[in-house]
Chain A
Amino acid sequence: MAFEVKKPGLATTVQDLGRPGYYHLGIPLSGAMDQEALIAANLLVGNDAGAAGLELVFMGPELVFRDDALVAVTGAELPPKVDGAPQPTWTTFTVKAGQTLSFDYLRKGARAYLAIAGGIDVPVVLGSRSTYALGALGGFQGRKLAAGDVLPVGAPQRQVPAGRSLHVSLRRNGLEDPAVLRMLPGLYWHRITEAAQGGFFADTWKVAPEADRIGYRFKGGNPLEFVPREPPFGAGSDPSNIVDACYPYGSIQVPGGTEPIVLHRDAVSGGGYFMLGTVISADMDLIAQLQPHKPVKFVPVEMEEALEARAERKAEIDKIKAALA
């Protein structure tokens, strides 16, 4: 089984649930930025939760199928079409050999996930099929898709009918306005003044155009004021510099104190900018669905609340698994 890429879309990549274990050598997790959406898409078509699918960003691709395939599209509201005929999202449908799967314009969210029964069968590299484009690793030839690429699809593992749907209550693709990202203050939080700490939460930030799998940049808040210091040896003279250290996934760095960057699944693993805290694990998937210019508020939480949110999210995914078992 295979399909051919007629038009690649904006930044379409092969992703599974990621490649843990190599961050200490600078190779990040990668994998679907909205993990819940990819899991739902996979389970809908009868794949294992961690099969490889396509992550579609802002603008979908045009794909010509060489064999009949059962597919599902979840995540952002990016309406699929088969030979021009509209198809439902969060629902399985069939694409027949020779037919073209394309997408209407984006209605909501930022990243949609396409699962194909059997999963995309690119080689497993360091335990994962995910694309890490910065390192030219994994996925399809280590890069985003291009016109003319032919991607192999595995053999379907289970027979699942077309028209199988995930109940609306279990679909997550809406975001509040402004969107709320909960974070645990910490790391180098003490480097900014109390007034700046308060201001960071009081300000409404907007997603900047520089928002990708490596990190999301935010604009529009007030510059952060630093606590004066003698620069430690090796850190550099800018008040936002630190001796180069590891960056947690979800950590919020603010180079020069002006524009916060939240690192995501293709994170640079370390560097010399201070971080003021970390977005909690439960809210990482939400970032995947933020469009440029979307207003965002950062809200501080304690560890206990972060763990409760994590448990709630796990329960949510368990419900999806139960519904599609």
Chain B
Amino acid sequence: MATRYSYGGDEHIFVEVDEEMSLDAFFKSLSITKAVRESQIKGVAEVCPANASFQVKFDPDVIKPADMLAELKKLEDQAAHSEAVIDTRIIEVPVFYEDPWTHETLMRFRERHQDPNSTDLAYTARINGYASNEELVRAHSGAPWFVSMVGFVAGLPFLYQMVERARQIESPKYLRPRTDTPKLTVGHGGCFGAIYSVRGAGGYQMFGITPMPIYDPKQETPYLRDFMVLFRPGDIVKYRSIDRDAYDAAIADVEAHKFYPTMRDVRFALDEFKTDPGAYTGKLEDLLHGV
């Protein structure tokens, strides 16, 4: 991992922790951005962590760009020695895989897809060596995912699968992006998952849909009353496959403002995870379900 610094005009510094994605790069980015926030450097306007990089927006009338850069390099040195342990949350996200709404949408944009004769999920299952759609769904909902970035549009989480790299699901983005994606579509592009927080353009493969609100600008959803965006970088997501009846029941609860996601506070230690990912994520899941 070689950290690379670049100015983004006169108001941003862009820091690439690593060119490729890894949990190490993500944790380093997360710990430096935390240090930047805590450092109270005058002139810092926004600190945005991303998958394997981060960005600081600053006011060059308050701090010179070169001085801002020097401060960040200092914090990077300190962060390199910090332990990769975070206090975070594990959140269960119910998913209705191969639902009629994303299906209608993916059929509408079939000519923009690598494999017009297949569905997004069947295509991804095939190129990842799964024997059936069900097997892909089992892999997708089997291990948890890290929220490695929140953005693109309001409240959209990017998710990174917590398994060995060889087992990570990978799929290309659409050849040409769609102009439409249903709200709350669960998608996948490259090695990343995403949950589309709003309806709109998108290029990720569409696997299913969740009934669970994750962004509510009107703040009517009970658990989004304090803040309209659910996810934070560092959150852990566990998908659960649900059928049409369970989906409809959840939607009825959402509309009655009675839906609450299952979530628990957890401490995550990167070294322990890396020693035995399967056993470690199994323990996280036990915690989620109060075992």
Contact = CB atoms under 8 A, between A and B. Distances in A.
Contacts of B221: none
A155 B126 CA distance: 64
B12 interface: yes
B154 A134 contact: yes
Nearest to B173: A236
A275 B14 CA distance: 11
A248 B156 contact: no
B263 interface: no
Nearest to B37: A24
Contacts of A246: 14, 48, 50, 53-55, 151
A57 B8 CA distance: 28
Interface string B29-71: 0000000000000000111111111110100110001000000
Contacts of A307: 10, 60, 65
Contacts of A294: none
A132 B47 CA distance: 20
A158 to B, nearest CB: 27
A77 B189 CA distance: 44
A244 B158 contact: yes
Nearest to B16: A245
A248 B150 CA distance: 15
Contact of B46 (A20, A125, A270): A20
Contacts of B46: 20-21, 23-24
Interface in B194-238: 197-198, 200, 215, 217, 228-229, 232-233
B198 to A, nearest CB: 6
A112 to B, nearest CB: 26
Contacts of A25: 150-151, 154-155, 229, 232
A237 interface: yes
Contacts of A306: 9-10
B264 to A, nearest CB: 22
Contacts of A324: none
A23 B10 contact: no
Contact of A26 (B8, B54, B156): B156
Interface string A169-213: 000000000000001101101000000000000000000000000
A135 B153 contact: yes
A14 B150 CA distance: 26
Contact of A233 (B9, B14, B21, B60): B21
B80 to A, nearest CB: 20
A234 interface: yes
Contacts of B155: 25-27, 135
Contacts of B215: 135
A91 interface: no
B165 interface: yes
A27 B8 CA distance: 19
Contacts of B233: 24
Interface stretch (A63-71, A145-153, A278-286): A278-286
Main SS of the interface on chain A?
Answer: mixed
B20 A232 contact: yes
B101 interface: no
A189 to B, nearest CB: 8
B200 A250 contact: no
Contacts of B61: 310, 314
B152 A184 contact: no
A22 B154 CA distance: 9
Contact of A134 (B48, B150, B158, B198): B198
B48 A272 contact: no
A102 interface: no
B6 interface: yes
A14 to B, nearest CB: 15
Given A245-B16, A270-B152, A233 B22 contact: yes
A278 B48 contact: no
Contacts of B150: 24-26
Contact of B154 (A26, A183, A184, A249): A26
A160 interface: no
B98 interface: no
Contacts of B96: none
A24 B47 contact: yes
B153 A244 contact: no
A134 B10 contact: no
A127 interface: no
Given A186-B6, A270-B151, A310-B10, 15 more contacts: A25-B154, A27-B229, A135-B154, A237-B172, A241-B190, A243-B21, A245-B50, A245-B52, A246-B53, A248-B8, A248-B14, A251-B8, A270-B149, A281-B9, A307-B10
The 6 lowest CB-CB distance pairs between A and B, nearest first, are: A234-B21, A248-B8, A278-B9, A232-B20, A135-B154, A269-B151
17 contacts: A21-B46, A23-B151, A24-B47, A24-B150, A183-B9, A186-B6, A232-B21, A234-B192, A245-B53, A248-B9, A250-B11, A251-B12, A268-B153, A269-B151, A270-B149, A275-B8, A314-B61
Interface of A: 20-27, 125, 132, 134-137, 142, 183-184, 186-187, 189, 232-237, 241-246, 248-251, 268-272, 275, 277-281, 303, 306-307, 310, 314
Interface of B: 6-12, 14, 16, 18-22, 45-55, 57, 60-61, 65, 149-156, 158, 165, 172-173, 189-192, 197-198, 200, 215, 217, 228-229, 232-233
